[in-house]
Amino acid sequence: MTEKENAIVNVNSAKPFANWTEQQKKDYINQLDYSSESAARKNLVTVTVPIWAFENNTNGKKITINRKVTMNKLVADDFVDIMTEIYNDPEQFPIWYYADGKYYQAEGFTWKNIGGTQTPSQHACGVAVDINANWNPQYVVPAKSLFKIDSNGSVVRIFTEHGWYWGGEYRQNRLDWMHFSLTERGANSRI
């Protein structure tokens, strides 16, 4: 079995990245081709995950919605497991709402560079997700709300149990509360 085949076999286990070192994660991602948007798209799959939402935004009761999120196919199963655990957690954290004429939710693959660089972001290779972006901004501690990602809440706990990183733990001047990724920000020059 080749090293790449072995990595894929390991990914198929429960919480596959929980015990991986940062270097193993970087090496794993660096085998992916995201040299262009079309190359990156060849590695993607769209998955459906259950999430809690509010009927009529924050004024309604909590309801279940199944949403589609596009992720790299090598992390997709783990991402589905994470989102299912968040959904099943007693906190029932809401991940979808409507505001300003637009729906917000969990956003995975987006072809973009790291701000101010020509380096593809973790979103560009499909190994990162932003949750409730309007309520969990970059660089500042978000205000208290129903959609705020709390450092002691189920979302952070479950992602980190699976070996993912939370942007709320980045350096003080680079906090990214909405962001969860397989590797730390700036883990190497490619991601």
Q: Could you report the per-residue pLDDT of 48-63, keeping only the tens digit for each?
A: 999 888 776 556 788 8
C-alpha distances in angstroms, 107 versus 37, 46, 124, 157, 182? 17, 11, 12, 19, 15
pLDDT band at 143 (very low <50, low <70, confident <90, very high): low
Q: Which residue has the higher pLDDT, 40 or 168?
A: 40
| pTM metric for this prediction | 0.83
Structure confidence at residue 38 (pLDDT):
93
Mean pLDDT of the region 39-51: 92
pLDDT tens per residue, range 79-135 = 999 999 999 999 998 886 655 666 657 788 989 887 788 888 888 989 999 888 776
State how far the Cα of 55 lies from the Cα of 60, in Å rounded to an integer.
4
Structure confidence at residue 5 (pLDDT):
39
| pLDDT greater than 80 at residue 150 | yes
Long-range CB contacts (within 8 A, 24+) of 57-63: 57/97, 57/98, 57/99, 58/97, 58/146, 62/92, 62/94
Percentage of residues in the chain having pLDDT higher than 70? 74
Lowest mean pLDDT among 32-36, 120-124, 184-188: 184-188
pLDDT band at 6 (very low <50, low <70, confident <90, very high): very low
Q: Is residue 171 classed exposed, middle or buried when 0-12, 13-18 and 19+ CB atoms within 10 A define those classes?
A: exposed
Lowest mean pLDDT among 5-9, 11-15, 114-118: 5-9
Structure confidence at residue 189 (pLDDT):
37
State how far the Cα of 70 lies from the Cα of 74, in Å rounded to an integer.
12
